Chain A
């Protein structure tokens, strides 16, 4: 089944220790998004890739970076995680041909100790 996959599902990292979250998709969608969702809040868009073009939201902290080496994979790098970065991180994909309906992955729950 075509899908959006996120690994790991649960990640524990130490304060200030860099961490990378990964997302892959078999939908062949040209757009990939990273959202941060804190408890009882709506998903908040961090950035997205339209094909190879990176689009950062204005209020996304510099601590968050992203890489998209190919169509299928996208990575979220948190350079120096703080306690406030503990959240669920959701990857989503969309396709222009499908009107950009967004398909979400299962998320990675990040804990910062």
Chain B
């Protein structure tokens, strides 16, 4: 089965700086990679996703890059704000598959004012 590793487990940055979270996956059949943000006590919310036919996707301050050859993908948050503080989970899946959403272990991001 799929295995997703996520690093770092905790990340502290100063407000305005950039944050990068990295994930690797094992199953070359995976082709859909969502990122979820989970604030304390709240539901995971999809913030951005990327499919394997795309190398990079950007949405305002958030971007995701994918390297299929190396089987890794990264989340980049620029101009971080205190409200970006949360746990971020990467995941891997085969698009169209109803079951195979494998999560990484999560990164606690803290943005220091």
Contact = CB atoms under 8 A, between A and B. Distances in A.
Interface residues of A, number: 23
Summarize B's interface: helix, strand, loop or mixed. loop
A31 B101 CA distance: 13
A106 B99 contact: no
Interface residues of B, number: 23
A100 B93 contact: yes
A97 B112 CA distance: 40
A48 B44 contact: no
B98 A50 contact: yes
12 contacts: A40-B108, A43-B44, A44-B103, A48-B98, A50-B99, A94-B98, A99-B32, A100-B93, A100-B96, A100-B97, A100-B98, A107-B42
Closest 6 CB pairs of A and B: A42-B103, A104-B43, A31-B98, A50-B98, A106-B43, A104-B44
Interface of A: 31, 40-45, 48, 50, 55, 90, 94, 96, 99-107, 109
